Amino acid sequence: MDDALLWHRLQFGFTITYHYLFPQLTMGLAWILVYWKWRHLRTGDERYANAMRFWARIFGINFTVGVVTGIPMEFQFGTNWANFSRYSGNIIGQTLAMEGMFAFFLESAMVGAMVWGEKRLGPRNHFLATLGVAIGSWLSGYFILVTNAFMQHPVGYALAADGTLRLASLQTYLLNPWALVVFLHNQSAAVVTGSFVVAAVGALYALRDRHSEQAALFLKTGTIVGLLSSVLVAFPTGDMHAKKVAQYQPVTLAAMEGRFHSGPVAEVNMIGQPNVKERRLDNPIRIPGALSFLAYGSVYANVHGLDEFPEDTWPTNIELLYYAFHIMVGLGTIFIALMTIACFQLWRGHLEKSTTLLWFLLLAFPFPFIATSAGWMVAELGRQPWLVYGLFRTTQGTSEVVSGGDVLFTLIGFVGLYFVLGVLYLFMVGREILHGPQGQAGGAHG
């Protein structure tokens, strides 16, 4: 209880991980909805309109819960991380404000029109509303990722006389090379989540022999988009991100792979247990040269080990960072394999009759959420012990007047509240799925 920093980190970690379960699905579904609406405009095929209406309702529920769980994030910058906000608020406040003013308001204004306004708006305006939702959700994601990218790779700043940071170049800040790469990687992962959920609902309907037209459409869209986005997460976006980590955070790369000693022909460890005390990786199964190639484009490149860096700059939880990274990579590989098999069966015309594969698609939908959560753990654990990498340590950032007991009390409250929200969310989405797609367009009153 005396370690207030631990409770500050646990509370923020819990609330932001829970919150991100929802935006990743809305960002993943957004462009699928745009595609279906566009196909309906081009072909007049009601299958696309029905699919869009059905998933727009689920989108609306998901968006609402995402907003509710996202509001505490802004307040925690003041209540839990006041010193960090005082130090860097003049910079990160720019994009947090932009996210609210330009992106979130755009998305919020359009969601109601997309869900309930089809009859009143007409087909073309309804398409524009759906497009506005997609643009708003992705623009919102970009501003948040720029904020995080500054913490990972600070650019465009100057040091003020009072020791705090000031914005020196808005363009440099907004076009942070770390942000551009992470945006492509993160958004591809969000599309993986959306496509897996769409495919899972299609598999459910196919297994229950219900809504056969929609089941076929959900399976086709979900598996094709799922394969493309799963590949994009690995290459080129994942590869580009790995190279950025190697360039700007080499100590993080070493910890992610449990690499304690430097050398060429560095291996990727498929399995192993980091033994920090003994400075070694136990029971490894390795792919020689793979890490050198991923990080620097050559199997003979030297990859720095943790022993090259002062121990007080090492990530503070190497074991958890290592396992989170390997869970993310392992699940990403499985996603590519599963969607490749599903697309092959789709091409053969056998997907809807492949009962075992349908079960795999149905049961696979939680795993993209696990993979993205693990990915964010990698990013945030890898940045430690810094809040702003190389400039401001995590130990400096907390609110001095908020005790560990206070944070634990509110954390218990968040857990209880979010449990209730989660149950309500699952009930409402489950009701929509069991009710199934309907053919009638939403009017002024739904």
Give the pLDDT band (50/70/90) at residue 439.
low
Rg of the chain in Å (alpha carbons):
23
Give the mean pLDDT of the chain. 94
| Cβ-proximal residues to 336 (8 Å cutoff; 6+ apart), any chain | 227, 230, 231, 234
Of 112-121, 418-427, 433-442, the one with minimum mean pLDDT is: 433-442
Tell me if the pTM is above 0.85.
yes
Check if the beta carbon of residue 80 is closer than 8 Å to that of residue 398: yes
- 3-class state of residue 315 by DSSP: coil
Give the pLDDT band (50/70/90) at residue 442.
very low
Distance CA 192, CA 288 (A): 29
What pLDDT, on a 0 to 100 scale, did the predictor assign at position 1? 63
* pLDDT tens digits along 354-406: 999 999 999 999 999 999 999 999 999 999 999 999 999 999 999 989 999 99
* pLDDT tens digits along 189-217: 999 999 999 999 999 999 999 999 999 99
Check if the beta carbon of residue 54 is closer than 8 Å to that of residue 438: yes
* pLDDT tens digits along 59-104: 999 999 999 999 888 889 999 999 999 999 999 999 999 998 888 8
Long-range Cβ contact pairs of 419-424 (< 8 A, separation 24 or more): 421/65, 421/68, 421/69
Distance CA 390, CA 151 (A): 9
Half-sphere exposure of residue 328: CA atoms within 13 angstroms, side-chain side: 22
Give the pLDDT band (50/70/90) at residue 220.
very high
Q: Between 417 and 102, where is the model more confident?
A: 417
Beta bridge pairs of residue 287: 268
